[in-house]
Chains A and B, each alone.
Chain A
């Protein structure tokens, strides 16, 4: 089953901390969104494998955009 990771707050992508194919556990940091000069980590909603990353560093993202997809087994 695929789970979408959504943008929790609008900002720009500061850093992506995982790669496609990487196994992640719930609450691992996936990437960092910069908003108002503050770095906000985004955490994995579930265990699984990163199957798709839809943003790159520097992208401006809005609330509820899809950041990446995690494939749960």
Chain B
């Protein structure tokens, strides 16, 4: 009798069954469509197991996944470690060759702030509104980091929204890009920037870490790790650390990140009408960010003879390198001999840093 009472089967609720379906859907999208499989697969599985009753996997203090979540995400360890790997993977060359493109990465944060105000006006708390707005930056680890600090109850929904929109970059961005540019603008071939020396690339992470952290100290955990990873890469003397940061370490923490994020989505937390708003607002934020980057590029063109192809502005959202690839594709469909990929990487990387700074500003104001 005791065995039957302890069986989970009798405690299943319709909400849990619904969450299983969502988990399966993410797993399906990860496998068949290859939508961010490294994250959506463990997230999908995490959703299923957290919605199996009486398993206590997320029970504070004792559950296995709760420990991953608590020590990994609440203690703010995993997102900065991901940033260490991202730093090691990043080549700042494209950005240093054309520093003016940094502004495009900054412009793409407009969606973050616009959405912040709209979400607040809709009745979300300031902390929740900030977390929803940051989805517009389309940066998974930053969204998770900010959410864990300001609005942990929204973490699962915001993370899934951010990763979904990153995966959907090739579908969401091109219509906006085509709507806001003329055929002639899409055909603009940009002049190559100057050659960037190895010494500049070496000093950049040190200098950038100092400047950004001095200005926005709350961004320090993510920026410090990102720049250290980049220093590993550019110093050329710690190839082993560089390699571990961008491959094995990143892969390891991704496992714990994915399953923990999924496990935050239990039916009672996730199935509320606010979650629908989060997905819509997140998409809105992302679209505004795409548009504002393009519009700033067009605005900058009014003042310079060295024209910027406005498509490049769309890459200011930080989905690296998906956004840059989309820019290349849309550009090549207007003029097949136009290679925008490397130009787009500049704002793309600036966008990552811009999103982290935006998150740092939210933390310092709201915490």
A positions within 8 Å CB-CB of B? 8-10, 27, 35-38, 40-41, 43, 63-64
Closest to A33 in B: B339
B321 at the interface (CB under 8 A from A): yes
Interface size band for B? 10 to 19
Q: Which of A8, A40, A41 has its CB near the most chain B CB atoms (within 10 A)? A: A8
Contact present for A40 and B192 (CB under 8 Å): no
Q: Are B342 and A9 in contact (CB under 8 A)?
A: yes
A38 touches B342 (CB 8 A): no
Whether the Cβ atoms of B345 and A36 lie closer than 8 Å is: yes
Q: Please determine whether A36 and B324 come into contact, CB atoms closer than 8 angstroms.
A: yes
When distances are taken between beta carbons in the complex, the residues of chain A under 8 Å from B336 are 27, 41, 43
Binding site for A on B (CB under 8 A): 192, 321, 324-325, 328, 336-337, 339, 341-342, 345
Contact of B337 among A8, A35, A36, A63 (CB under 8 A): A8
Docked-complex contact B339 and A40, CB < 8 angstroms: yes
A64 CA / B191 CA spacing, docked (Å): 12
B339 touches A36 (CB 8 A): no
| A63–chain B nearest beta-carbon distance, Å | 6
Flag if B325 contacts A38 (CB, 8 Å): yes
Complex contact B342–A40 (CB within 8 A): no
How far, in whole Å, are A9 and B321 apart by their CA atoms in the complex?
A: 15
A35 to B339: give the CA distance in the assembly, Å: 11
CB of B328 within 8 A of CB of A10, answer no
In the bound complex, residues from chain A placing their C-beta under 8 Å from that of B337 are 8, 27, 43
Q: How far is the CB of B250 from chain A (nearest CB, A)?
A: 16
Considering the chains assembled together, what is the distance between the CA atoms of A63 and B345 in angstroms? 15
| Pairwise interchain contact A8-B339, C-beta atoms closer than 8 A | yes
Q: Which residue of the partner chain A has the closest CB to B93?
A: A10
A9 and B325 in contact, given A36-B345, A63-B192 (Cβ under 8 angstroms): no
Known A43-B336, A43-B337, A63-B192; judge A10-B325 contact (CB<8 A): no
Closest residue to A63 on the B side, CB-wise? Answer: B192
